[in-house]
Amino acid sequence: MGDNYYPIVSALVANILAQAFKPLFYYLKTGKKDLSLVFESGGFPSSHTSLVVALTLSYGYLSNFQSQYFFIAMVFSLTVIYDAANVRYYAGQNIKITKQLIQDIETLTQTTLDNPVYRQKIKDVLGHKWVEVIGGFLVGFITASVLYFWR
């Protein structure tokens, strides 16, 4: 693997590893097996974070943390990480609240809201808690570092 491909390979490997780790950590936490988590967003570790951290660190290693690519990737990474831990996380919390409100209204009024919009299956885990982001950071950091010294 040459230097030209190292950043993208590092980012993709970190992303794949983070996704592959999700069922393992879920099993360790709950004792339940769920391989479908490999294809899900949210959860531990954050694959978005692992991808952008590996990409950023790769460009940093290649340029002694001095290139324009490193700084562009760093700004991109901070934006993605903030979004994962804040914007997307709270969007998921809003979905949970909305689902509960619909259920409460149906219970209190003894009626079923029959509009199809109320029955849509919407995923309520969109973003990450900070511990999940830190897990993704570690996966990205370790992946980029190992691949840099191994190349």
Enumerate residues 6+ apart whose C-beta is below 8 A from 16. Answer: none
Q: What share of the chain is helix, strand, coil (3-state, %, to 5)?
A: 75, 0, 25
Confidence of residue 85 (pLDDT cuts 50, 70, 90): confident
CA dihedral 145, 147, 149, 151 (to 10 degrees): -160
pLDDT at residue number 126: 63
pLDDT at residue number 47: 94
> Which H or E element spans position 83?
none
- Return d(Cα 84, Cα 135) in angstroms, integer: 13
Q: Where are the domains of the chain?
A: 6-90+129-150
Q: What is the mean pLDDT of the chain?
A: 89
pLDDT at residue number 108: 85
- Return d(Cα 108, Cα 32) in angstroms, integer: 34
pLDDT at residue number 149: 93
Confidence of residue 72 (pLDDT cuts 50, 70, 90): very high
Q: Is the pLDDT of residue 69 over 80?
A: yes
Q: Is the pLDDT of residue 7 over 90?
A: yes
Mean pLDDT score, 23-29 = 93
